Structure 1
């Protein structure tokens, strides 16, 4: 009998587990506020079990602009030409980074996040004016830096950055600040601002049960104890499964 109960609980958890929370990060490669958010909030949070409930999308364009002349695309970026190059590197990395079958501890998502975090941590301080792409690739198990660099210096990189621009310009509410963080493909200023100072707590407001354990310290919903709240949600899932 106990084995049947365990099986039912497991099945109920599977049935009730929600899809990951889609989170889109609209940012710029040389923006200090973007760097602060990614290196101090996003990256540390995604090294916890929170990574299992989040689906990240990076859009490296921000307040940039572009004009097209035939097949050519010319960009003007918020923090100057170096940022335009950085944005292209980010766009190419997002497109081309792949996990290797012999490095099972890394996923495409974790490699991309670690690479972007390294680039953002470098900020505007490039020793000898050398962009840190190759160094960040070597430090973060990225084996195809040459492909990323070639992309960033070609029309492929320009087209990828243009796509990021089109995605940014399709926002229902025009971008007013960088970074801007969207949850569930919807802009909510309170959530976007909150995520920049408490990313974990903000994500936990969107994550469905069963939530990762790290949410417990951020959950104060309706004065209920977290264990009681999660227990009641699991119970509802179990009842829904049984009936």
Structure 2
């Protein structure tokens, strides 16, 4: 195992463009995969994700439960799980639950020589929704979850985006979001979502696809979609918050399968 890690580090060291990296890149390969930000900065995100180095950092504080949701903006099952299970659970348990949203799902990408072009399972509007939510996550930080919840719980995800932003994050201008959506920044951010989704092990076969502390099993998926709050409470290693005494049981098995 140790020999394999050394071989991977040597491969990354000899193939990465070290000249364009700054700290932590110049500190050596052991730091390149210490976080997603450093992996992106050093140009080795794909390799770090495939090697699953980020998983060892999920429990840095020894307690917080880490949940990643891989989804697409117009998938009915994704919308139901995000708005009626995940967001309420996070609202009650945000002190012990960290949520990462990855809007991409069953999309595909190709590089046309200048930028990445994306095609989505539910058409161009879904690609636009994915891009808006990706840019919100980049520009608004943790506040983006509230905006995305507002969008996904609305009748029209796309048309509600600006009003949801004004309601939950009024200091962020809609023009800034659309500048990201229409520009290179959004294109690069969506490509990162594509890399993260493609690097899933096991590979996703439907969305919503849930990982807990870097792991995905059918058992975890079923528990997350049926009773997420009790699952998070059972995994949390510290003193249980009062919300762990409540009950929450709903089933969301309406999946959008990867074709």
Q: Which segment drifts farther, 195-204 or 24-33?
A: 195-204
Q: Which residue of 1 aligns with 2:21?
A: none
Alpha carbons 2:63, 2:238 under 8 Å: kept: no
Aligned-pair CA distance for 1:154: 1.6
Secondary structure of the corresponding residue to residue 202 of structure 1: helix
Aligned equivalent of 2:169, options 106, 119, 141: 141
Alpha carbons 2:66, 2:214 under 8 Å: kept: yes
C-alpha distance in 1, partners of 2:202/2:120?
20
TM-score by length of 2: 0.68
Kindly name which structure, 1 or 2, has the bigger radius of gyration based on alpha carbons: 1
Aligned equivalent of 2:154, options 122, 127, 144: 122
Give the paired residue count: 186
Q: Which residue of 1 aligns with 2:98?
A: 55
CA RMSD, 1 decimal:
1.6
C-alpha distance in 1, partners of 2:73/2:103?
7
Aligned equivalent of 2:223, options 183, 194, 202: 194
Unpaired stretches in structure 2, ≥5 consecutive residues: 1-60, 248-259
C-alpha distance in 2, partners of 1:28/1:203?
23
Give the 4+ runs in structure 1 shifted more than 6 A.
none
Aligned-pair CA distance for 1:159: 1.2
Secondary structure of the corresponding residue to residue 46 of structure 1: helix
C-alpha distance in 2, partners of 1:87/1:150?
15
TM-score by length of 1: 0.72
C-alpha distance in 2, partners of 1:121/1:217?
23
Secondary structure of the corresponding residue to residue 116 of structure 2: strand
Spell out, residue by residue over 1:109-128, the C-alpha distance to the aligned partner (whole angstroms, 9 max, x if none). 2x2111110111125x36xx
